[in-house]
Amino acid sequence: MLSAALIAVIAVPQRAANVPSKPMPAYQSFVQNWNDEAKPVLAAYMTMEDHWFHVMSPAAIMAKEQRFAPDPGFFAKNGVLLVARVVPDGTPDLKFQSLSEKGGTLEFKYQYTPAKKPGSFNYTTFIGREVTKKAGWTKVRFIENGKVVSEIDVKGGFFRNP
């Protein structure tokens, strides 16, 4: 009887739990270039200041007094999830949908709608979300329009793809 109860507990599928996050504030920085032809989506889970400066670059502009990065100490308890794409001009749409956790894996879901009429140039657009770090997270999965486009092995020490 006890073994049947244990089997029943093990067989119950684990539900995803929503993870609170908030939009990343505007910093005077831009996403660094990557080979977007080989990998159209850049995904990152930045948990250290060093990670930030491997993904973002300061955009110095005269007479602007905006921060280039989060405040010192921010990464002690927090992280930033970021997804970026190089898109054609013409008002493409990149929208955050949800952030959830299941079995140690974070799932960052968003929607990408390409521009209806591409313009004459390309630019990088991104979504950044701040989150309180949790020790048990081992992977971050980025899901675009219902399809996994990137997975980061956090436990393995990785923080960005590519």
Using DSSP's 3-state secondary structure scheme, residue 3 falls into helix
E strand or H helix that includes residue 7: helix 2-11
Mean pLDDT of 111-125: 86
If one compares 106 and 65, the residue with the highest pLDDT of the two is: 106
Distance separating alpha carbons of residues 162 and 41, to the nearest angstrom: 8
- Residue 162: cis peptide before it, omega within 30 degrees of 0: yes
Taking only the tens place, the pLDDT of each residue in 30-77 is: 999 999 999 999 999 999 999 999 999 998 876 667 889 999 899 999
What is the number of domains present in the chain? 1
Query: Are the C-beta atoms of 89 and 122 separated by less than 8 Å?
Result: yes
Lowest mean pLDDT among 61-65, 76-80, 158-162: 61-65
- Is the pLDDT score of 141 beyond 90? yes
Residue 138 lies in a domain: yes
Please state, as a whole number, how many other Cβ atoms lie within 10 Å of the Cβ of residue 46. 24
Residue 8 lies in a domain: no
Q: Which of 32-46, 77-91, 115-129 has the highest mean pLDDT?
A: 32-46
Residue 146 lies in a domain: yes
State pTM to two decimals.
Answer: 0.86
Residue 2 lies in a domain: no
> What's the pLDDT score for residue 56?
96
Residue 139 lies in a domain: yes
Residue 6 lies in a domain: no
Could you list the residue range(s) of the whole structural domain that residue 95 is in?
Answer: 15-161
Residue 42 lies in a domain: yes
> What's the pLDDT score for residue 61?
79
Distance separating alpha carbons of residues 62 and 97, to the nearest angstrom: 35
Q: Which residues in 38-92 belong to E strands, given as ranges? A: 41-46, 56-58, 78-88
**Torsions phi, psi for 66 (to 5 deg):** -105, 145
Lowest mean pLDDT among 20-29, 107-116, 117-126: 117-126
Tell me the pLDDT of the chain averaged across its residues. 89
Residue 4 lies in a domain: no
> What's the pLDDT score for residue 92?
72
Q: Of 143, 102, 137, 106, nearest to 15 (Cα)?
A: 102
- Which residue do the tokens 């992280």 mark? 79
